[in-house]
Structure 1
Amino acid sequence: MISSLWKPEMRVEALVSTLEQRVLLNDLDLNLHMNNGRFLTVCDLNRVDLFIRTGLAALMVKNKWAPIIVRHTMDYRKSLAPFQKYSVSMTISRWDEKYFYATHQFISKGKVVAEGESTAVILGRQGVVPPAQVIEAVNARQGRVEALPS
C-alpha cells in the first residue's frame, strides 16, 4: 500500500494495476503452495493500489464511501510454490449504472496461473454510488472535467 504513494497517478482511461510479488511462507496452505484465499487477498491489494493512485481513496474518506465486493470468481490453473515470483494485474474492464467489473490475472514464468473477475460497488450514506458519479469525482480530483462512457 505504501509503495502506491510513489507510483504514477492512474487515469480513468487506463485503470490497470500491476503488482510484482513473491510467495511468502504465510501465503502457504497444507499443500505447501499459495492458498486460494491468498489470491483473493492479493486482488484486494490491487484494488487498494488503484484507489490510492487514482485519488479514489481520498474521495472515499472524504465522502464516507466504502468499496464492497459483491462477487468474485477465480480459476486456478497452476500452483505457486514458496518464494516463487509472480505478477498480478487488475483491470477495470467496464462499469454500468451500478457495478464496476474488474479482471484479475496472475502470471508466473510467462504463464497464467490464475485469473478471475470481481464485481464491486461503491457504497455511500444513501446507498450505491453510481459509477458515473465516482468517475466524475475522480476526474474532478485529477483536475479533469470530462466523464468517460462506461
Structure 2
Amino acid sequence: MLGLLVALLALGLAVFALLDGWYLLRLPCAVLRARLLQPRVRDLLAEQRFAGRVLPSDLDLLLHMNNARYLREADFARVAHLTRCGVLGALRGLRAHTVLAASCARYRRALRLLEPFEVRTRLLGWDGRAFYLEARFVSLRDGFVCALLRFRQHLLGTSPERVVQQLCQRRVESPELPADLQHWISYNEASSQLLRMESGLSDVTKDQ
C-alpha cells in the first residue's frame, strides 16, 4: 500500500514537473463548472464574467501578475464562455472544432498579489472563418480595466455562420466589428501574406 502511494505521489510530481499540471487540471474544471453548475447563456453577445485572484505563482520579478498569466486566465474564461453559450456543444454536433489563431493584449495597469479581478469576455462578431472575442481584466478593487485582450477563434470543419444558425435556429448576421478590431484583422491578413511570400508559398496556402 505504501509503495502504491509513493508511486502515485511520484507520478503526480512528474506530471506537475514535466507538464503544466495546473493548466491541464483547471481547463476541464472550467468546462465542467460552466456546463453543470452555471446557467446556459442564450444571448451569444452577452458578456460573461470569470472570477480570479492573483496568486504567488502568478507573479513576476516585479511582484505583479506576469504577462503570460493574462493569456492563461483568458483561456479559462474563454472556454467557459464558449461552453455556456453553447458554441462548443454546437461544434461537437457538427463534428468540428476550434483553435486560437491570433491574439493581442494591451496592458494598462498591473494586477498585484492577492488582488481580485474578473475576466469579462464577450463575442464581438464573426466572419467566414472565425469568431472574434474580447476579454477585459477588471480589478474588483476599483473597477479599472487593467488589460484588454482580443482573440481570433478559428473554426475547422464548419463556419461561424453555420454554428450561429444551429444555436439560434435561424440565420443571424454578425454585428459590425469595431474599427480597431478591423484594423487588427487587416494587420493579420497583411502579416500572413508577407510570411507566405517569404516562404515561397502561394495565396492558395492559407494559414488559420
Q: TM-score w.r.t. structure 1 length?
A: 0.84
Residue in structure 2 matched with residue 8 of structure 1 by the alignment: 39
1:130 aligns with 2:159: yes
Shift in alpha-carbon separation, 1:65–1:29, aligned structure 2, 3 A:
farther
Which residue type is aligned with residue 146 of structure 1?
A: R
Q: Partner of 2:79 in structure 1?
A: 48
TM-score, length basis structure 2: 0.62
* Secondary structure of the corresponding residue to residue 102 of structure 1: strand
Name the one with the larger helix percent.
2
List gaps (5 residues or longer) in structure 1. 140-144
Given candidates 62, 65, 90, the residue that maps to 2:96 is 65
- Structure 2 counterpart of 1:149: 173
Q: Distance in 2 between matches of 1:130 and 1:15?
A: 21
Counterpart of 1:120 in structure 2 is 153
Task: Return the index of the structure with the highest Cα Rg.
Answer: 2
Structure 2: gaps of 5 or more residues: 1-29, 175-208
Structure having the larger proportion of residues in strand: 1
- Whether the aligned pair in 2 keeps the contact of 1:28 and 1:34 (CA below 8 Å) is yes
SS of structure 2 residue aligned to 1:14: coil
Say which SS state the counterpart of residue 91 (structure 1) adopts.
strand
Higher relative contact order (CA 8 A, sep 6+): 1
Deviation at 1:118, TM superposition (A): 1.1
1:130 Cα offset (Å)? 1.3
The amino acid across from 2:162 in the alignment is Q
Alignment RMSD: 1.7
Q: Classify the secondary structure of the residue corresponding to 1:78.
A: coil
Question: Residue 75 of structure 1: which of 82, 106, 115 is its match?
Answer: 106
> How many percent identity over aligned positions?
28
